[in-house]
């Protein structure tokens, strides 16, 4: 890994008698051996980014640590770790390593987590999607599993109704074999402006989806390009992905079985939905389903339960 990958580290220093998450020191770290970063500038924040050796020097008396690792590079962590940092981690009385399973397709096989499990006093896995937080998945992985959710919810976006929307369609930057075919179909619709989401900050993204009437994701389906526009008052289009969507999303007309079907039906559906009353009724249907899964208070409760050790599937 050459840089830009972040891990979240929560440290509890026994010299200060810190025993609650509110008192613990929290730091974000760049990936070991990667490019040094001082700050992540794609969204507004006041969080400095450290290198792991800096934490070793700043917190010489650390007693407890929770180390969060993204799933897709978690197995590389020990390979790139400085031996001095590894020795520092090994001397901790409590080291919990939590794998952030944000995409089940990128989650390592259980046997590949064994080296991390040997280093940690406890290894856990937290999920972003409800679909792959289950008893069967807990049994397959062999480690405590917790549904962390994401902070995506209606409270963090600017909602605008049909009358306040522009005739603007945004789409995700994901690569897909049928992406051009879908976009070419849209050329039959005059008056719509199209924007691919790229080269903008998160705040700029949130502002443009608040103005957009339509959104298409070419990614995993149940992702930010689908959810966040809905919470901003847009209508979103996706294809049903069994790895991420729960079955209730299949009742939505704009969650298609395949991209071929999306390409065939998209223009007709846009024309049908581009009516104030029809738009409002369908947008509220999407909104209700999304809100039933992504609620801010539930997210906070799930975070609290994680740090209390009260996991979904212990």
Q: What is the pLDDT of residues 114-141, one digit of tens each?
A: 999 999 999 999 999 999 999 999 999 9
> Is 44 exposed, middle or buried (CB count within 10 Å of its CB: 0-12, 13-18, 19+)?
exposed
On whether both 118 and 161 belong to a single domain, the answer is no
Listed residue (11, 48, 12) closest to 28, CA to CA: 48
On whether both 139 and 165 belong to a single domain, the answer is no
Mean pLDDT, residues 294-309 taken together: 92
Distance CA 97, CA 89 (A): 11
Mean pLDDT, residues 191-200 taken together: 94
- Confidence tier at 204 by pLDDT (50, 70, 90): very high
On whether both 11 and 145 belong to a single domain, the answer is yes
On whether both 116 and 163 belong to a single domain, the answer is no
Q: What is the CATH number of the domain that holds 180?
A: 3.40.50.2000
On whether residue 314 sits in a domain, the answer given is no
Distance CA 45, CA 297 (A): 22
The rounded mean pLDDT for the chain is 88
pLDDT per position as a tens digit, 66-111: 899 999 889 999 998 999 999 989 988 899 999 999 999 999 999 9
- Confidence tier at 33 by pLDDT (50, 70, 90): confident
On whether residue 100 sits in a domain, the answer given is yes
User: Which tokens hold the place of 105?
Assistant: 């397709």
Per-residue model confidence (pLDDT) at position 29: 79
User: Which tokens hold the place of 275?
Assistant: 């009516």
Mean pLDDT, residues 268-292 taken together: 97
Domain that holds residue 177: 154-293
Per-residue model confidence (pLDDT) at position 52: 83
Q: What is the domain count for the chain?
A: 2
On whether both 118 and 131 belong to a single domain, the answer is yes
Distance CA 228, CA 27 (A): 27
Q: Name 9's bridge partners.
A: 27, 67
Listed residue (120, 164, 123) closest to 141, CA to CA: 123
- Confidence tier at 24 by pLDDT (50, 70, 90): low
The answer to whether 193 and 146 have CB atoms below 8 angstroms apart is no
Taking the alpha carbons at both ends of the chain, their separation in whole angstroms is 32
Percentage of residues in the chain having pLDDT higher than 70: 92
On whether both 84 and 209 belong to a single domain, the answer is no
On whether both 65 and 162 belong to a single domain, the answer is no
On whether residue 1 sits in a domain, the answer given is no
The answer to whether 216 and 237 have CB atoms below 8 angstroms apart is yes
Per-residue model confidence (pLDDT) at position 152: 87
On whether residue 25 sits in a domain, the answer given is yes
The answer to whether 165 and 234 have CB atoms below 8 angstroms apart is yes
On whether residue 266 sits in a domain, the answer given is yes
Distance CA 104, CA 128 (A): 9
On whether both 104 and 187 belong to a single domain, the answer is no
Check whether 46 has a pLDDT greater than 80. Answer: no
On whether both 45 and 139 belong to a single domain, the answer is yes
Percentage of residues in the chain having pLDDT higher than 90: 69
On whether residue 57 sits in a domain, the answer given is yes
Predicted model pTM: 0.86
Distance CA 67, CA 24 (A): 13
On whether residue 265 sits in a domain, the answer given is yes
Per-residue model confidence (pLDDT) at position 301: 93
Check whether 9 has a pLDDT greater than 60. Answer: no
On whether both 118 and 34 belong to a single domain, the answer is yes
Contacts of 83 (CB under 8 A, 6+ apart): none
On whether residue 313 sits in a domain, the answer given is no
On whether both 277 and 180 belong to a single domain, the answer is yes
The DSSP annotation for the chain comes to --B--EEEEEEEEGGGT--STTTSEEEEEEPTTSB--S---SS-----EE-HHHHHHH-TTEEEEEEEEEGGGGGGHHHHS-HHHHHHHHT-SEEEEEEEES-GGGPPPGGGGHHHHHHSSEEEEEES-GGG-SHHHHHHH-S-EEE---S-SGGGS----GGG--SEEEE-----TTHHHHHHHGGGSTT-EEEE--SS-HHHHHHHHHH-SEEE--SSSSSHHHHHHHHTT-EEEEE--TTT--GGGGG-TTEESSHHHHHHHHHHHHHHH-SHHHHHHHHHHHHHHHHHH--HHHHHHHHHHHHTT--SB-
Per-residue model confidence (pLDDT) at position 7: 47
> Is 31 or 229 the better-scoring residue by pLDDT?
229
Check whether 23 has a pLDDT greater than 50. Answer: no
On whether both 224 and 302 belong to a single domain, the answer is no
């Amino acid at each position: 890994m050459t840089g830009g990958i972040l891990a979240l580290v929560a440290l509890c220093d026994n010299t200060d008698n810190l025993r609650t998450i509110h008192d613990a020191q929290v730091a974000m770290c760049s990936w070991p051996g990667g490019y040094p970063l001082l700050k992540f500038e794609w969204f507004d924040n006041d969080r400095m980014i450290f290198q792991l050796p800096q934490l070793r020097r700043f917190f010489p008396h650390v007693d407890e640590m929770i180390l969060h690792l993204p799933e897709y590079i978690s197995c590389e962590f020990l390979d790139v770790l400085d031996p001095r940092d590894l020795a520092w981690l090994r001397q901790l009385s409590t080291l919990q390593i939590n794998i952030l399973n944000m995409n089940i397709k990128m989650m390592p096989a259980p046997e590949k987590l064994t080296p991390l499990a040997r280093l940690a006093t406890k290894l856990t896995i937290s999920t972003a999607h409800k679909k792959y937080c289950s008893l069967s998945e807990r049994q397959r992985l062999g480690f405590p599993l917790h549904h962390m959710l994401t902070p995506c919810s209606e409270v963090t976006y600017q909602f605008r109704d049909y009358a306040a929307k522009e005739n603007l369609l945004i789409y995700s930057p994901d690569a897909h074999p049928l992406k051009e075919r879908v976009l070419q179909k849209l050329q039959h619709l005059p008056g719509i402006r199209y924007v691919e989401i790229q080269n903008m900050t998160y705040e700029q993204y949130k502002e443009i989806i608040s103005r957009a009437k339509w959104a298409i994701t070419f990614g995993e389906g149940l992702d930010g390009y689908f959810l966040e526009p809905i919470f901003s008052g847009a209508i979103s289009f996706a294809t049903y992905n069994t790895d991420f969507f729960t079955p209730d999303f299949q009742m939505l007309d704009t969650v298609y079985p395949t991209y071929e079907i999306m390409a065939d039906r998209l223009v007709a559906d846009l024309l049908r939905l581009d009516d104030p009353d029809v738009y409002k009724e369908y947008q509220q249907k999407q909104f209700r389903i999304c809100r039933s899964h992504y609620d801010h208070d539930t997210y906070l409760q799930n975070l609290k339960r994680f740090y209390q050790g009260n996991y979904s599937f212990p």
